[in-house]
Amino acid sequence: MTFENSPFYKRLEHKKVVYSFGTFYFCDMFFVSELNEGIHFDWDKITQVISTIYDIYGNYNIKLAHISNRVNSYSTEPHLWIHFNQEFGFVVASAIVSYSEMNYINATIEKRFSKNSIKRCASLEQAIEWVKNLREFN
């Protein structure tokens, strides 16, 4: 289920930003990514999102969680997250919503490359509840 088709779309205050490669929803403590079918999410696309994050939240002492809502199939390079965490330290945890076995396997691989906590979730609701209860925000 996409964020826009979920009950959270109307319930949570957010800013929707549409890129050529996907749609992002920026909420208070977290942001949700929904990448387009078949794209390759690379460093250039990551830096576009980072620029938007700084525009929305500022770039001083921000702490956010990332929810990757994998409604489409796409590719990424898991080792980019090592570089991302070294360059930008504001993502404190991530939730990956998997709708297929392949997405779950990919999430397992990505989990090995991240120093931050990554939760594999079966639904957007499970991911949002997990993020809201993170100790980094309480």
pLDDT tens sequence across 68-124: 999 999 988 877 877 887 888 899 999 999 998 877 777 666 766 667 888 999 999
Quick one: CA dihedral 50, 56, 60, 63, positive or negative? negative
CA 47 to chain centre: 14
Least confident of 6-10, 46-50, 106-110, 123-127: 106-110
Question: What predicted TM-score, i.e. pTM, was given to this entire model?
Answer: 0.92
State both tokens at 22. 């996907």
Side-chain half-sphere exposure of 27, counting CA atoms within 13 A: 19
The string of DSSP codes covering 9-20 is HHHS--EEEEET
Element at 124 (helix H, strand E) = helix 124-132
Which element (helix H / strand E) includes 67? strand 64-69
Judge contact between 113 and 81, C-beta under 8 A. yes
Asked if pLDDT for residue 57 goes beyond 70, the answer is yes
Q: What structural domains does the chain harbor?
A: 8-137 (3.30.750.24)
Q: Which residues contact 94 (CB under 8 A, 6 or more apart)?
A: 65, 66, 67, 68, 114, 116, 117, 118, 119
